[in-house]
C-alpha cells in the first residue's frame, strides 16, 4: 500500500527542465514523492514559472541581497526547513553550499551533474568533455557532500560523443538522460530503497560498489 508521498524541495537557478521532470514524475499516480516547494536563488529563473504552473509554492532566496558571511546559507536553510522535506533535490542550482549547510542535510540531499563523475566536476562540462576527446559522456546523480560534485554517485547515464558534436548537441543528448535518471533516483530514495550509509550508497539494502548505470537504449539500470 503506498503511503503519503515524501515531500521534496527542489532548488534551482535557471531553466528548470530537471525540475519539470521531477514535478511530472511526482505527479504520477502512486508516486512515492511529490515536489512541495521550489526555491531559486535567482528571481528570474524560468523554472519558477514551471512550478507556478504546477501549483507548487515558490520562493526566492536571493544571493545578491544576502551578502554577509553565512547569510545566504542560513536563509536558504530556513526556507527549506519550513517545508520539512524528506529530501532536498538540487536541479541546476548554481551556488556552492557551505559545509554546515551540507552536513545539516547529509544523506537527504541529491544533485544532478552533467558528466560521468568523477570526470569533469564543476562548470562547462560538455565543452571540456569534447576538448578531452572522450568517446562517452553522460550525467550522474549523487549525494551532496561538502566536496563540490564529489559526493557518492548513485546512478549514471552514458551517451556516445558523436562526430560533429558541439557543446550544445552533446548537452541536449545528456539532458535527455538527466530527465530519466533523476526522477528514478528520487523515487528510490522516497521509497526507502536508496540511502547514504557511512560505508557508501545503499540500494535495496546492499552497498553499491560502483554507480548504477543506465544506458540510453535500456530501461533497467545495471
Catalytically active residues are 113
Nearer to ligand GRF, 60 or 74 (CB): 60
Q: How far is CA 118 from the centre of its chain?
A: 16
Residues that bind ligand GRF in the complex, under the rule CB under 6 A: 14-19, 47, 91-92, 112-114, 139, 175, 178
Nearer to ligand GRF, 20 or 201 (CB): 20
Nearer to ligand GRF, 13 or 70 (CB): 13
Nearest approach, Cβ of 124 to ligand GRF (angstroms)?
Answer: 11
Q: Is 86 helix (H, G, I), strand (E, B) or coil?
A: coil
Q: How many residues does the chain have?
A: 222
How many Cα atoms occupy the beta-carbon half-sphere of 151 within 13 Å? 28
Nearest approach, Cβ of 92 to ligand GRF (angstroms)?
Answer: 3
Q: Which residues pair with 11 in a beta bridge?
A: 39, 90
Write out the DSSP string of 188-208. HHHTT-EEEETTEEEETTEE-
Nearer to ligand GRF, 74 or 134 (CB): 134
**Measured between alpha carbons, how far is 163 from 157 in angstroms, rounded to an integer?**
20
Closest to 80 (Cα-Cα) out of 4, 9, 128: 9
By beta carbon distance, the residue nearest ligand GRF is: 92
Nearest approach, Cβ of 200 to ligand GRF (angstroms)?
Answer: 22
Nearest approach, Cβ of 184 to ligand GRF (angstroms)?
Answer: 15
Amino acid at each position: 500500500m503506498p503511503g503519503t508521498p515524501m515531500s521534496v524541495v527542489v532548488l534551482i537557478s535557471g531553466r528548470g527542465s530537471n525540475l519539470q521532470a521531477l514535478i511530472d514524475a511526482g505527479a504520477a499516480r502512486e508516486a512515492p514523492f511529490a515536489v512541495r516547494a521550489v526555491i531559486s536563488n535567482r528571481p528570474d529563473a524560468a523554472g519558477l514559472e514551471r512550478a507556478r504552473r504546477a501549483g507548487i509554492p515558490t520562493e526566492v532566496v536571493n544571493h545578491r541581497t544576502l551578502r554577509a558571511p553565512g547569510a545566504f546559507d542560513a536563509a536558504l536553510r530556513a526556507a527549506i526547513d519550513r517545508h520539512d522535506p524528506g529530501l532536498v533535490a538540487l536541479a541546476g542550482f548554481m551556488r556552492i553550499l557551505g559545509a554546515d549547510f551540507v552536513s545539516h542535510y547529509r544523506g537527504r540531499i541529491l544533485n544532478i551533474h552533467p558528466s560521468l563523475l568523477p570526470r569533469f566536476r564543476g562548470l562547462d562540462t560538455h565543452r571540456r568533455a569534447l576538448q578531452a576527446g572522450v568517446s562517452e559522456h553522460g550525467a550522474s546523480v549523487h549525494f551532496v557532500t561538502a566536496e563540490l560534485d564529489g559526493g557518492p554517485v548513485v546512478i549514471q547515464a552514458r551517451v556516445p560523443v558523436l562526430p560533429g558534436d558541439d557543446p550544445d548537441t552533446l548537452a541536449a543528448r545528456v539532458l535527455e538522460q538527466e530527465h530519466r535518471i533523476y526522477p528514478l533516483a528520487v523515487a528510490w530514495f522516497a521509497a526507502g530503497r536508496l540511502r547514504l550509509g557511512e560505508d557508501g550508497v545503499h540500494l535495496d539494502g546492499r552497498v553499491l560498489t560502483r554507480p548504477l548505470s543506465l544506458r540510453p537504449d535500456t530501461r533497467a539500470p545495471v
